[in-house]
A = this chain, B = another copy of it.
Amino acid sequence: MERAGDVAVIGAGLIGLGIAFELASRGATVRVYERGEPARAASWAGAGMLAPYSESTGDEQMLALGAQSLSRYPEFVDRVRAASGIDPHLHLDGIVSAAFDEERLRELRAHAQALARRGVDCELLDRESTLAAEPALARTVLGALLRRSEGYVDNRRLGRALVAACEAKGVTIVRSATDVAVEADARRVLGVRSHLGFTPASYVVVAAGAWSASVPGIPTQFAPAVRPVKGQMLALAAPVGFLKRTTWIPGAYLVPREDGRLLVGATMEDAGFDERVTGSGLRTLLDAVHMGAPSLLDFAVTEVWAGLRPGTPDGRPLIGPTPIEGLILATGHYRNGILLTPVTAAYVADCIERGDAEALAPWLRMTTA
């Protein structure tokens, strides 16, 4: 991998670590710079849903990108597990979207038809089958759509696994006591500046999630238009298997974990860099559970937290080379950063390794801050 030279990645979230792991697996020399803790922020705060179909907003290119990343997940996780010895708990056993009114039921029927045309494995469940599949749902449920190929990964485990996998592949993770800055001239990138001073690099990848717009040193006209979209969540201590699959109820989603923890998420708030858990955030989630799966509320609330998604004006990520030679963006993944980690890692590695940015064309908008 001669063309690559040294790569610096700014941001040790799943996206940055995924890219570093991919590049290092292909032989590149990679340093990841992180101002905080590796694999924290949104990578830690998310629920790990792998749901390109359930999350679809009608953007066909996003749907295709998500579907492609989902199809890469098993192999990606296998490689991360093999390199790290840590199992990220990938579960592709389906996601249930439950309907509690006729309108939602009609929507789910339309989704099912569209997915069937696409060849996606899904099934409409009547009321009885829905309650048989997920007995925790309220008796008022009318039906559900089961998308069999979706699921979840334990994103906190995946984060720990990626840190270990990167280290196993020779990636250096630099925890900087100061903000990490891009160094560039008008034409090309020179390296990064951290608490260690200046370190040259042939490529600098900005993967700083919600903080990407404020990474120092990115020329203003190319700074990515990423803004934080706050999400609040909570965890309930349910018995293992009480909820069988990741389930959407009106106003919230429920994501199981192998240890029985059950994640409830998530609010969508335009609140700047505020990461507080608020009364209204918790109330929104608990009210949704009360409506959709009330028996869950008898379990202990063992954790509450919030995270910041990196949102963009058009809802699409910003992935690919900027006009500054060697300066590459990999940010703005919004609600889909965990899902899009494998495909982003592969595309950015291809782009650096082979100068191949073709696959990145839809994601190369200059939507700047």
Q: In the assembled complex, which residues on chain B have CB atoms less than 8 Å from the CB atom of A298?
A: 278-280
Give the distance to chain B from A24, nearest Cβ to Cβ, in Å: 40
How many chain A residues touch the partner (CB < 8 A)? 21
User: A304 to nearest B CB, angstroms?
Assistant: 7
Q: How far is the CB of A155 from chain B (nearest CB, A)?
A: 22
Q: In the complex, which residues 205-247 of chain A have their Cβ closer than 8 Å to any Cβ of chain B?
A: 234, 236-237
Residues of B within 8 A of A290 (CB): 280, 283
Q: Does A296 contact B (CB under 8 A)?
A: yes
Q: Which residue of B lies closest to A304 (CB)?
A: B301
Checking B277, B278, B299 against A279 with a beta-carbon cut-off of 8 angstroms, the contacting residue is B299
In angstroms, how far is the closest chain B Cβ from the Cβ of A263? 13
Task: Determine the distance from Cα of A278 to Cα of B297 in the docked complex, in whole angstroms.
Answer: 6
| Cβ-based interface call for A106 (8 A) | no
Asked if A282 lies at the interface with its beta carbon under 8 angstroms from chain B, I say yes
Q: Does chain B have a CB within 8 A of A300?
A: yes
Is A148 part of the binding interface, using a Cβ–Cβ cutoff of 8 Å?
no
Residues of B within 8 A of A287 (CB): 283, 287
| Minimum CB distance partner of A287 in chain B | B283
Q: Which residue of B lies closest to A276 (CB)?
A: B300
So how many copies of this chain end up in the complex? Answer: 2
B289 touches A301 (CB 8 A): no
A301 adjacent to B278 (CB under 8 Å): yes
Contact A279 B301 (CB under 8 A): yes
Assembled-state Cα–Cα distance A300/B279 (Å): 6
> Which residue, of A236, A278, A289, A299, has the highest number of chain B Cβ atoms within 10 A?
A278
Q: Could you tell me which residues of chain A, from 280 to 294, have a CB within 8 Å of some CB in chain B?
A: 280, 282-283, 286-287, 289-290
Chain B residues positioned under 8 Å from A301 (CB to CB): 277-279, 282, 304
- The reply to whether B300 and A278 contact each other, CB–CB distance below 8 Å, is yes
Q: How far is the CA of A280 from the CA of B278 in the complex (A)?
A: 17
Interface contact A279-B296, CB-CB below 8 Å = yes
Find chain B residues with CB under 8 A from A299 CB.
278-279
Minimum C-beta distance from A242 to chain B (A): 13
- Please tell me if the beta carbons of B276 and A286 are within 8 angstroms of each other in the complex: no
**Using Cβ atoms and an 8 Å threshold, which residues of chain B touch A236?**
279
A286 contact set on B, CB distance < 8 A: 279-280, 282-283, 286
Cα of A298 to Cα of B290 in the assembled complex, Å: 21
Kindly state the separation between the CA atoms of A298 and B281 in the bound complex, as whole angstroms: 8
CB distance from A348 to the nearest CB of B (A): 36
Residue of B nearest to A271 (CB): B298
- For A278, list chain B residues within 8 Å (CB): 297-301
Assess the A282–B280 pair: CB atoms within 8 A.
no
Q: Are B300 and A277 in contact (CB under 8 A)?
A: yes
Closest chain-B Cβ to A196's Cβ sits at a distance in Å of 35
Query: Residues of B contacting A280 with CB < 8 Å?
Result: 286, 290, 297-298
Give the CA-CA distance A46 to B107 in the complex, in Å: 48
Q: A234-B279, A280-B298 are in contact. List 6 more A-B contacts (CB 8 A).
A: A277-B300, A279-B289, A279-B296, A279-B297, A280-B286, A280-B290
Sample of 8 A–B contacts (CB below 8 Å): A236-B279, A277-B301, A278-B297, A279-B286, A279-B289, A279-B296, A280-B298, A282-B282
